[in-house]
Structure 1
């Protein structure tokens, strides 16, 4: 599942392949921007912000994409056969030495600008909170403050990109297990500073790994403690992993996984399933 570390690696992949190259092909396959053409401009840089990818050009425009659940960027040799069907391509940016193809992208938009007045990216990413992979220094206190002021379950609050940018459902499940926190615990009742510290260290480690892992084991099927392991034994205590649904509203529910022994349910929080309250869960 694409999360902040995946997008960071994708941005750096595009940056290494395209930076400084003159665009020879620019093809956006979504109706709103299908006629846009930036050929002849130079790729200035490709950067990530949370789960967002921003490709900036010498003309001042920014190609803004979001992988959502299924998307990915691939870099190929010019003229090479695409490994996926062409109908799944949503964006193509090519130079003389590389062709970048974005497949199954959840969002593609072009933010217009000029060399004198580059694109205003605030509407796309201005709402995002501190980003552990791009901010130096990272404002951990602001991220923790946002979590503590959120009245919703911690599993919902941790994915709100306004608090901290880059953590999605897999991170929320795994970090809560590692801290021994039930997903329905009110966010205001957790040690947010320690949770954020763990999350920052974990996502930075995973940024530099070829395979995401929360256990330290990168072998296939060994990287997660609870995520995707419903009805399997806990790797620590052997208790069967439970699963349910949580979200800001019924249209944005996510599957949650937890160990009833390692993550005891707080008193008065129900049976561990259902939805949260408020809005903004996993807000992109």
Structure 2
């Protein structure tokens, strides 16, 4: 499942194949950009911003989001694609490589100067050059009544976290996902854990949040009904989402949530 570390790796891969090279062919397989041709444009950089990816070519930026199923691949000229051609949404070619974006959640081309309008709303990115943990903590506390399990998925508060990291961060910090953000005892630790886990996984092909001695890569994610690896209590699998988005919140569809009710009690017990 694409989260911030996945997009970071994709950006690094594309940067190695495209940056500094002139495109000799492009194919945008979405109606809005079907006639757009960037052949002759030089790619100047490829960067990730949370779950967003920006390929800068000339004075334009190709802005994509992987959503749930999307991915970018890089191939040598003539190499057979690993995904069906009908799923391709963007093809960028230079003499040495071809980059193909499959099943992209969205794809658009904007002026590079307009990038702040496209991604400026995002919160601090744990994998970004300008990571600001104090600002991330401030944003997460800005709506104190909102459950922390929802706040962590709001990309305007902290960018790059998805279901997996949300569940794992809250388990490691022993925080119940339905705890109001204003009642979280150590928000700073959760923010720091986000930074540590994403950095630990950004160079791995297999994401893991557990020690190397564990067979399962995750503490609770995907383990609904199975014993908690810390206490043995069955892990709970529920859905959580914002029922009625209002001012200052972002709509979040109901998403899978995993937690241990014993290790992550909603209220302290004697």
TM interval, short-chain normalised: over 0.9
How far, CA to CA, are the matches of 2:98 and 2:210 in structure 1?
35
- Structure 2 residue aligned with 1:110: 109
- Structure 1 residue aligned with 2:238: 244
Name the SS for the 2:188 alignment partner.
helix
How far, CA to CA, are the matches of 1:84 and 1:10 in structure 2?
16
How far, CA to CA, are the matches of 1:188 and 1:246 in structure 2?
18
How far, CA to CA, are the matches of 1:47 and 1:149 in structure 2?
28
- Structure 2 residue aligned with 1:142: 135
- Structure 2 residue aligned with 1:279: none
Structure 1 runs (4+) greater than 3 angstroms displaced: none
1:228-252 residue CA offsets vs partner (Å, 9 max, x unmatched):
1111111111111111111124871
- Structure 2 residue aligned with 1:265: 266
How far, CA to CA, are the matches of 1:88 and 1:27 in structure 2?
13
- Structure 2 residue aligned with 1:153: 147
The answer to whether the Cα contact below 8 Å between 1:55 and 1:63 also exists between their aligned partners in 2 is: yes
- Structure 2 residue aligned with 1:27: 27
What is the correspondence of 1:49-198 to structure 2 with a 5 Å cutoff?
49-57=49-57, 59-112=58-111, 118-136=112-130, 138-150=131-143, 151-190=145-184, 191-198=186-193
Q: CA RMSD in A?
A: 1.5
- Asked whether 1:43 is paired with 2:36, we answer no
User: Unpaired runs of 5+ in structure 2?
Assistant: 245-251
The answer to whether the Cα contact below 8 Å between 1:177 and 1:259 also exists between their aligned partners in 2 is: yes
How far, CA to CA, are the matches of 2:242 and 2:89 in structure 1?
29
Cα displacement (A) at 1:217: 3.1
Cα displacement (A) at 1:186: 0.6
Name the SS for the 1:245 alignment partner.
strand
Cα displacement (A) at 1:135: 2.5
Cα displacement (A) at 1:82: 1.1
How far, CA to CA, are the matches of 2:113 and 2:212 in structure 1?
42
1:184-212 residue CA offsets vs partner (Å, 9 max, x unmatched):
11111112111101111111111122211
- Structure 1 residue aligned with 2:3: 3
- Structure 2 residue aligned with 1:254: 255
Cα displacement (A) at 1:66: 0.4
1:69-92 residue CA offsets vs partner (Å, 9 max, x unmatched):
111000001111111111100111
Name the SS for the 2:178 alignment partner.
coil
Name the SS for the 2:258 alignment partner.
strand
- Structure 2 residue aligned with 1:282: none
1:46-83 residue CA offsets vs partner (Å, 9 max, x unmatched):
000010000001x2000000000111000001111111
User: Unpaired runs of 5+ in structure 1?
Assistant: 113-117, 268-284
Provide the aligned length of Structure 1 versus Structure 2. Answer: 259
Cα displacement (A) at 1:218: 8.7
The answer to whether the Cα contact below 8 Å between 1:212 and 1:218 also exists between their aligned partners in 2 is: no
- Structure 1 residue aligned with 2:248: none
- Structure 2 residue aligned with 1:281: none
